Amino acid sequence: MVMTFILAAAALVPLAHFLGEATEVISDKTGEHLSGIINATFGNAAELVIAIVAIKSGLIDIVKYSLVGSIIGNILLILGLSLFVGGIKFGNLRLSPVITGTTTIHLSMAAMCFVVPSVFAKEDSVLALNKYSVGIAVVLLLVYFVGVFYSMVNRENKEASQVIHEDIEATAPKWSLRTSLIVLISATVGLVYMSEILVHQIEPLVEATHIPPAFVGLIILPLVGNVAEHSVAVGTAMKNKINLSLAIAAESSVQIALFVSPVCVLIAGLFGQNFNLIFNKIELITLAMSIGGTWLVVHDNKSNWWEGFSLLSFYLIIAITAYFL
């Protein structure tokens, strides 16, 4: 059981990597008017596929933990590791004020999307909470796609996109559009198949190893789904393109909050599952503290390896807490 879970997780890593590469190339070739929609759809495809399969299997609590875990993994682990290796290699790192400004706003929005429904919801009944969450989900999707449109037409966002685009051009594979589409479709099919195997091994894994379900959802599943982004962000940081690393971490977090989470709510209804956007205090406090710590690191538009190490240390503390408590 454990070995099957490990092998399935290992197989998801290259699939997520190729899916990300294909999405990058297709976004570049389709132009700015479609690139935002494509990135919204496939930017966190691995996490979305795993979440949908888990919801279908009734693992609702683990999916909720994985949504929060994906966000804190992006801003603490991915960004922290990028700042750490970039700072060691290049010393003090200069962050683009355009990107740090939008990052702060986006992360604040991500926090509100999780906190507000959880704080103000009245637990009258499961049906009422589900209806409430569906309404919130529709609004979040509207906010996300309007935000994508705004980023296309707003001058300041175009400047940020140009900074990111220049870095992507230097790192993206030189595939044709046809090759990218084939890779995209093949990787997506592979992700669905391997995610089915992975998710079906979660409960046997918990029973065999006594690993807490919270640790599986908060740490293990996000690591599996985000490992491709981890490698890209760290690799670009080592090439002194730290702004791309920051953009990857922030944009991925926003997609989880504004796109993946509401899609999970809407998809759950098709499977007859009760999935809402009401999170417990541990999840909310962890998320809020993670976003606050990230803001302290990036708000002055500069960073170094020590600040990256601090973010990594905070992530390790969260992982240890999730395992033992």
* Rounded percentage of the chain residues whose pLDDT exceeds 70: 84
Amino acid identity for residue 237 in this structure: A
Q: What is the pTM of this model?
A: 0.85
Domain spans of the chain, in order of start:
2-324
User: With bands split at pLDDT 50, 70 and 90, how would you rate the model's confidence at 171?
Assistant: low
Residues 249-268 have pLDDT tens digits of: 887 888 888 888 999 999 98
Evaluate if residue 56 carries a pLDDT over 80. yes
Residue 206: predicted pLDDT: 86
For residue 15, give the H/E element and its range: helix 2-30
Residues 179-210 have pLDDT tens digits of: 878 888 888 888 888 888 888 888 888 888 88
User: With bands split at pLDDT 50, 70 and 90, how would you rate the model's confidence at 314?
Assistant: very high
Q: What is the mean pLDDT of residues 121-141?
A: 77
Q: In the numeric block, which tokens belong to residue 304?
A: 């170094």
Q: Find, among 66, 104, 130, 101, the residue nearest to 275 by Cα.
A: 130
Higher pLDDT, residue 131 or 35: 131
The CATH classification number of 2-324 equals 1.20.1420.30
CB 111 within 8 A of CB 290: no
Higher pLDDT, residue 162 or 318: 318
Phi, psi of 279 (to 5 degrees): -110, 155
Evaluate if residue 278 carries a pLDDT over 60. yes
Higher pLDDT, residue 30 or 237: 237
Q: What is the mean pLDDT of residues 37-59?
A: 78
Q: What is the mean pLDDT of residues 163-188?
A: 69
Q: Find, among 299, 234, 302, the residue nearest to 94 by Cα.
A: 302
Q: In the numeric block, which tokens belong to residue 213?
A: 């379900």
Euclidean distance between CA atoms 121 and 296, whole angstroms: 30
Q: Angle between the 60-72 and 281-298 helix axes, to the nearest 10 degrees?
A: 10
Q: In the numeric block, which tokens belong to residue 252?
A: 């991925």
Residue 245: predicted pLDDT: 81
Q: In the numeric block, which tokens belong to residue 193?
A: 């198949």
Q: Find, among 44, 71, 109, 8, the residue nearest to 219 by Cα.
A: 71
